[in-house]
Homo-oligomer: A and B are copies of this chain.
Amino acid sequence: MDITVNRAAIYAAAEELSNWGRWGPEDQIGTLNLVTPQDVADAAKLIKRGKTFALGLPLTEKIQSGLFGGRWNPIHQMLATGTDAAAGVQDIGKAYLRYADDAINLPMQCSTQWDSLAHIFLDDKMYNGYPATFVDVKGAKKNGIEHTKDKMVGRGVLLDVARWKGLAALPDGYGITNDDLDGTAAAQGIEIRRGDFVIVRTGQQEACLAKGDWSGYAGGDAPGLSFETAYWIKSHDIAAICADTWGCEVRPNETDEANQPWHWVVIPAIGITMGEIFYLKDLAEDCAADGIYEFFFCAPPMNLPGGCGSPINPQAIK
């Protein structure tokens, strides 16, 4: 496509691609409506070897570097320890229990995660026309992550764009085009279908892992989907779009008239669920080895009423 990305293009795309009202005025899950029970049953048939891939990055990776929004790396804290147990401090009375216990304090988007449809606004509205003010300091009154608690199941498809390009990783600033997505799918011999969970691999995360340096990963420059892919997403009616990067979208952005212009469209207008920071190395290598890029996908979010996102550990099963 030939699009000059600017505010006008954003509003034009938002209007053209809008799914507001498509699943009724009360809908809160957007494109996840596109997955039918039959799709889930069909996707189950993709499980052949019983091989499971965990797509959640270890939460001990310190990927937050302060570039965006006050997010921190997960804080894992102990409420009871084995050293305490072994020192006997838990042995109170005869009927004691020696145990360890812990807690975690983490931003929803500090690592592998789902965005909910309450995450991004277009002006003062969110998906399906709900007012932005429905997301206050108590959480999201509409479009919260809890509505997807049993919806993150279906056919997963990996589009390994980096590998198709013959690169370990796409360079920062590279905007993946619709032709790239189609070219990758064609080369992989895979068809994109209505209701798919499409996962795009740029290789950027693996480059960070390899060098042990996350500088710039969270909020800095990155390869990613270009603005035009909003049209691709809508025309393919996929259920979700995921990537191995911090924000799916190419950075620097394609315009200086908006931060994350593609986000302005895909979440509020299309109502698509977005997955970010997916760990794809093992899955991608397996797909390259057996030539099979589709799999059963199951990535349950926290059942948190009002959540604007959720940490996840998605499972791809072949």
Chain A residues packing against B (C-beta within 8 Å): 36-42, 44-45, 47-54, 56-60, 62, 66, 69-72, 74-87, 89, 94-110, 112, 118-124, 126, 131-140, 146, 149-151, 153, 253, 255-260, 263-264, 296, 298-309, 311-315, 317
Q: What is the CB-to-nearest-CB distance from A168 to chain B, in angstroms, rounded to a whole number?
A: 23
Q: How far is the CA of A70 from the CA of B81 in the complex (A)?
A: 13
Query: Contact: A151 with B52, CB < 8 Å?
Result: yes
CA separation between A255 and B96, bound complex, in Å? 11
CB distance from A90 to the nearest CB of B (A): 9
Alpha-carbon distance A303/B57, docked complex (angstroms): 7
Interchain CB contact (< 8 A) of A132 among B83, B95, B259, B301: B83
CB distance from A316 to the nearest CB of B (A): 9
Q: How far is the CB of A290 from chain B (nearest CB, A)?
A: 14
Seed contacts A40-B317, A96-B258; 17 additional CB < 8 Å A-B pairs: A44-B317, A54-B150, A59-B302, A60-B305, A72-B75, A76-B139, A76-B304, A77-B77, A78-B136, A80-B137, A82-B118, A95-B255, A97-B260, A97-B263, A100-B135, A153-B317, A298-B300
Given A124-B85, A135-B100, A304-B60, decide whether A95 and B256 contact each other with a Cβ distance below 8 A.
yes
CB distance from A312 to the nearest CB of B (A): 8
A264 touches B135 (CB 8 A): no
Q: Are B84 and A137 in contact (CB under 8 A)?
A: yes
- Give 14 A-B contacts (CB < 8 Å), ordered by A residue: A41-B48, A76-B306, A79-B137, A80-B137, A83-B86, A83-B89, A83-B133, A83-B136, A97-B260, A98-B132, A101-B108, A102-B139, A150-B315, A300-B314
A70 vs B138: C-alpha distance when bound (angstroms): 9
Distance, CA A133 to CA B77, complexed state (A): 16
Q: Is B298 in contact with A313, judged by CB distance below 8 angstroms?
A: no
A107 CA / B77 CA spacing, docked (Å) = 9
A67–chain B nearest beta-carbon distance, Å: 13
Q: Is the CB of B100 within 8 A of A140?
A: yes
Are A136's CB and B79's CB within 8 A? no
Known: A96-B259, A101-B109. A85 touches B303 (CB 8 A): no
CB of A85, distance to nearest CB on chain B (Å): 5
